[in-house]
Amino acid sequence: MAATPAVRALEKARVAHTLHPYDPEHPSDQGHGEAAVAALGADPRQVFKTLVARVDGALTVAVVPVSGTLDLKALAAAAGGRKAAMADPADAERTTGYVLGGISPLGQRRALPTVVDESALGFATVMVSAGRRGLQVELPPADLVRLTRARTAPIGRC
């Protein structure tokens, strides 16, 4: 299995992590995050999806639990902006260097401002995309926040 930029970033930073591969094929009525949770038998509150939004026009990464949704108003406030909207998928892919369903908050082509939902801090480890569909990485949330230079805020809704 070739290392993704996300995995290389973790290795370079010497962060303890565990890779969790799974079959990325899933029903069309199920999102990529839900497919990862189902395939891995994981807690959907502990698996986080990486979403790219525009806050006052600037691309911003939001990391929220699969079990919930992104609160765009809360993201805008946490990022110091007034208005947030989901980014165009092509912009998200081009800027991060990853494909939808495999966008990782780590090792992006161009590091974007990042906000991690504060619920992540309640777990010893969390899972995020490792940079491709069918691969999650488990790591301590403090390391995720540190490596992405993220701020934490209540940006997820259950």
pLDDT at 100 over 70: yes
Distance in angstroms (rounded) separating the CA atoms of residues 82 and 130: 31
CATH homologous superfamily, domain 5-157: YbaK/aminoacyl-tRNA synthetase-associated domain (3.90.960.10)
This prediction's pTM? 0.94
Q: Which amino acid is at 151?
A: R
Residue 71, SS3? coil
Mean pLDDT of the region 139-156: 98
- pLDDT in the model for residue 2: 67
Write the CA distances from 32 to 9, 23, 43, 108, 136, integer angstroms. Answer: 23, 11, 15, 19, 11
Q: β-pairing, 48-55 with 84-86?
A: antiparallel
User: How is the chain split into domains, by residue range?
Assistant: 5-157
pLDDT band for 118, please (50, 70, 90 cuts).
Answer: very high
1: confidence class by pLDDT, cuts 50, 70, 90: low
| Residue with the larger pLDDT of the pair 127 and 25 | 127
> At 26, is the pLDDT very low, low, confident or very high (cuts 50, 70, 90)?
confident
Tokens for 98? Answer: 């990853």
Can you tell me the distance from the alpha carbon of 144 to that of 130, in angstroms, rounded to the nearest whole number?
A: 12
